[in-house]
């Protein structure tokens, strides 16, 4: 009888250990599936949020482009009413014609179309409120120099003396004069 009782306890203990191990394995597998499900759900939520933010950014970019285009039109209309202005800003310049004459892609009010202005300087200009060709055409040389010197030594050496003139040529659609001016600048740099 004690042998049978001891053997029963041994089998009971062995069954308890096997049950605990099996329960732990099953619980771990279930927890792993729950964690994987939670990660997938979180990834889906993040992907949805990212796509929503991208869509909002695209809409914002379109709104900024539209605002800049409207500001440019407003500046052109103001130029019509100012006395002594030789520019005919009633019509928006033909960008396709400008691209053909200048021999490169051209986007309306893209400040990078000005010789000497790259993406970094364009961001500086936008930071001080210069967003259109007309804004740049009407900016004072002192304001441009101050903007460049405030940006640091990397920009302080840039020559902004002809940016307003180039911007006025582009804003008014005087493509041939703009091309000649660019060629003159290029030949001055090489000599």
Give the tens place of pLDDT for each residue, 103-118. 888 888 888 989 889 8
Model confidence at 49, pLDDT cuts 50, 70, 90, reads very high
The answer to whether residues 146 and 171 belong to one domain is: yes
* Alpha helix positions (H), the chain: 2-81, 95-102, 119-127, 133-137, 141-150, 153-156, 163-171, 175-190
Q: Of 40, 74, 89, which residue sits at a domain end?
A: 89
Please state the rounded mean pLDDT for residues 86-111: 75
* Rounded (5°) CA angle 72-73-79: 90
The answer to whether residues 80 and 141 belong to one domain is: no
Dist CA 57 CA 66 (whole Å): 14
The answer to whether residues 80 and 117 belong to one domain is: no
The answer to whether residues 85 and 99 belong to one domain is: no
pLDDT of residue 82: 59
Length in residues, the chain = 191
Q: Of 19, 54, 89, which residue sits at a domain end?
A: 89
Q: Which domain holds residue 65?
A: 1-89
In sequence order, the 6+-apart residues with CB closer than 8 A to the CB of 181 are 162, 165, 166, 169
The answer to whether residues 115 and 132 belong to one domain is: yes
Dist CA 112 CA 176 (whole Å): 18
Whether the CB-CB separation of 138 and 144 falls below 8 Å is answered with: no
Whether the CB-CB separation of 175 and 98 falls below 8 Å is answered with: yes
Tens-digit pLDDT profile for residues 149-180: 998 888 888 888 889 999 998 888 888 898 89
Put simply, whether the predicted model's pTM sits higher than 0.85 gets the answer no
The answer to whether residues 99 and 45 belong to one domain is: no
Q: Whole-angstrom distance between the N-terminal and C-terminal Cα of the chain?
A: 115
The answer to whether residues 56 and 122 belong to one domain is: no
The answer to whether residues 122 and 147 belong to one domain is: yes
The answer to whether residues 7 and 85 belong to one domain is: yes
- Burial code of 73-102, b = ≥16 C-beta within 10 A, e = fewer? eebbeebeeeeeeebebeeebebeebeebb
Please state the rounded mean pLDDT for residues 124-148: 89
Domain count, the chain: 2
The answer to whether residues 117 and 185 belong to one domain is: yes
pLDDT of residue 89: 44
Whether the CB-CB separation of 144 and 65 falls below 8 Å is answered with: no
């Amino acid at each position: 009888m004690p042998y049978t009782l001891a053997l029963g306890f041994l089998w009971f203990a062995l069954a308890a250990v096997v049950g605990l191990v099996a329960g732990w394995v099953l619980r771990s597998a279930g927890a792993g599936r729950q964690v994987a499900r939670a990660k997938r759900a979180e990834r889906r939520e993040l992907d949805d949020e990212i796509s929503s933010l991208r869509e909002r950014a695209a809409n914002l970019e379109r709104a900024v482009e539209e605002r800049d285009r409207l500001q440019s039109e407003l500046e052109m209309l103001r130029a019509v009413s100012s006395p002594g202005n030789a520019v005919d800003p009633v019509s928006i310049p033909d960008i396709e014609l400008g691209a053909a004459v200048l021999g490169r892609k051209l986007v309306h009010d893209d400040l990078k179309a000005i010789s000497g202005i790259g993406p970094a300087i364009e961001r500086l200009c936008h930071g001080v409120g210069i967003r259109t060709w007309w804004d740049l055409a009407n900016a004072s040389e002192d304001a441009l120099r101050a903007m460049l010197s405030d940006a640091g030594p990397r920009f302080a050496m840039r020559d902004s003396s002809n940016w307003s003139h180039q911007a006025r040529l582009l804003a008014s659609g005087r493509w041939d004069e703009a091309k000649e001016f660019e060629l003159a600048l290029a030949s001055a740099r090489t000599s």
